[in-house]
Amino acid sequence: MRASSTLRRIRIVALALTFALGCSKPTSRPQTTALDAGSFDKSALVTAFGTCALDTYRAFDATAKQLAANPTRTTWTAAMDAWQEAELMQFGPLGGTALPGGQGLRDPFYAWPLLGRCQIDRAIVNKSYEAADFDKTSVVTTRGLGALEYLLFYEGAENACGSSEDINASGAWAALSKDELAARRAAYAKVLAKDLQTRSTTLLDLWEPSKGNFLGTMSTAGKGSAVYPTLESALNSVVDALYYVDEVTKDRKVAIPIGLVDPAACAAPPCGDLLESRYAVRAKQHVRSNVVALRKLLIGCSADGTGLAFDDLLDAVGANAIADDLEGDLKAALDVIDKFPHASFEEAMAKGDLESIKKVQLAIKAVTDTLKTEFISVLKLELPKRVAGDMD
């Protein structure tokens, strides 16, 4: 059973006192700190995170190949499910350019919450997706998994452009027959699916030990790595990535559409138009995939849910109870999602049941609150500045 917040505070104070006393009083036992946890192999932990990321990218690559071979709703769903786990692995080349080793590769795969629907419709009319350099000249909001979702799932005859836009004012859109519109959407989708496969190959090549070997770059953190001069810098890059669940999953994907945070974004909840995957209606499933990926980083990435992860580092510094809390709260969050009483968040909104969505947000918040307090404090890691002070 998860401890109360009061007991948690008592635990963290006790741990802090233990560390302080260890510094001020001589002892025959080696001093233990978060990143000097006795014989615990922190280098192996960093390597485990890199291996987890590589395995996740490989899983996505397999689905990307299937999607490129046959762009359908089924192959898109498989690819998107795999990518939603990769969203938590945004360290190294997939991370932002301000991060160590980051090359900002994420958005061409999936630019959500941005989607250029009118621009996509314009490309359908102009057939600009046929250009050989479309992958370089078009904006990311007209490519990737988000644009593919729109092309594969939206069946409406309307476009998202205003009446004064050229495709409407000229009558070009109206001139497209139903069959021609479907054919162009399918052709456009095939271009995007092939582009995703190419980008997936590029990402994998950067990581594979036999090629770019970014896995080796992580494994040598603190031991000559050109990107990570210390083990702390490598661990902090992983910490930065896992806070995706706090900023994006908990807030943007769940809380904002029901008006729990950022009332300017959703003044009159519910705001179904702010949900992820509005055309495929898979917002709930994406949230689950994010939590599954978070569990991999915190508890273990092996197929059976075990393996070296942050819980082992917590155990090594005597914070077993925090590790237990995280594992219990992650299980509880997955249980809440799996027992969600509606087929989708959209259905819950349509039936006026915002409380069920709020329960998902609160279950995830139980995990992220610990991540922003005891977890970061006991392990003496860095809380990303963008989430510091945010306890929503």
In this structure, are 214 and 302 located in the same domain? no
In this structure, are 201 and 57 located in the same domain? yes
Q: Name residue 33's beta-bridge partners.
A: 36
Output b/e per residue, 7-34; b: 16+ Cβ within 10 A.
Answer: ebeebbeebeeebeeeeeeeeeeeeeeb
Instruction: State the residue range of the domain holding 206.
Output: 39-228
For residue 29, being part of any structural domain is answered with no
Residue type, 144: G
In this structure, are 192 and 255 located in the same domain? no
Helix (H, G, I), strand (E, B) or coil at 33: strand
For residue 119, being part of any structural domain is answered with yes
In this structure, are 208 and 260 located in the same domain? no
In this structure, are 83 and 218 located in the same domain? yes
Does 4 score more than 90 pLDDT? no
Tens digits of per-residue pLDDT, 28-58?
333 334 445 668 999 999 999 999 999 999 9
In this structure, are 276 and 223 located in the same domain? no
Q: What is the pLDDT of residue 37?
A: 60
pLDDT cut 90: percent of the chain above it? 87
Does 286 score more than 90 pLDDT? yes
Does 138 score more than 80 pLDDT? yes
When pLDDT is cut at 50, 70 and 90, the band that residue 392 belongs to is: low
Domains identified in the chain, total number = 2
In this structure, are 211 and 300 located in the same domain? no
Final residue before a domain boundary, out of 166, 193, 228:
228
For residue 329, being part of any structural domain is answered with yes
Tens digits of per-residue pLDDT, 185-210?
999 999 999 999 999 999 999 999 99
In this structure, are 111 and 214 located in the same domain? yes
Mean pLDDT, the chain, whole residue set = 91
Q: What is the pLDDT of residue 147?
A: 98
In this structure, are 342 and 202 located in the same domain? no
For residue 365, being part of any structural domain is answered with yes
In this structure, are 84 and 203 located in the same domain? yes
In this structure, are 43 and 139 located in the same domain? yes
In this structure, are 193 and 299 located in the same domain? no
For residue 259, being part of any structural domain is answered with yes
Q: What is the pTM of this model?
A: 0.90
Those residues whose C-beta lies under 8 Å from the C-beta of residue 71, and which sit 6 or more positions away, are 148, 152, 186, 189, 190, 192, 193
Final residue before a domain boundary, out of 228, 255, 270:
228
Final residue before a domain boundary, out of 228, 251, 277:
228
What values do phi and psi take at 186, rounded to 5?
Answer: -65, -40
How large is the average pLDDT for residues 234-259?
97
Does 278 score more than 60 pLDDT? yes
For residue 108, being part of any structural domain is answered with yes
For residue 375, being part of any structural domain is answered with yes
Measure the N-to-C terminal CA separation of the chain; round to a whole number of Å: 24
Dist. CA 251–CA 324, nearest whole Å: 24
Helices (H), the chain: 5-24, 42-69, 73-86, 106-109, 117-126, 134-137, 144-153, 166-169, 178-207, 214-219, 231-242, 244, 283-298, 310-316, 320-338, 345-350, 354-370, 376-378
For residue 7, being part of any structural domain is answered with no
How large is the average pLDDT for residues 263-286?
97
When pLDDT is cut at 50, 70 and 90, the band that residue 14 belongs to is: very low
Dist. CA 38–CA 316, nearest whole Å: 7
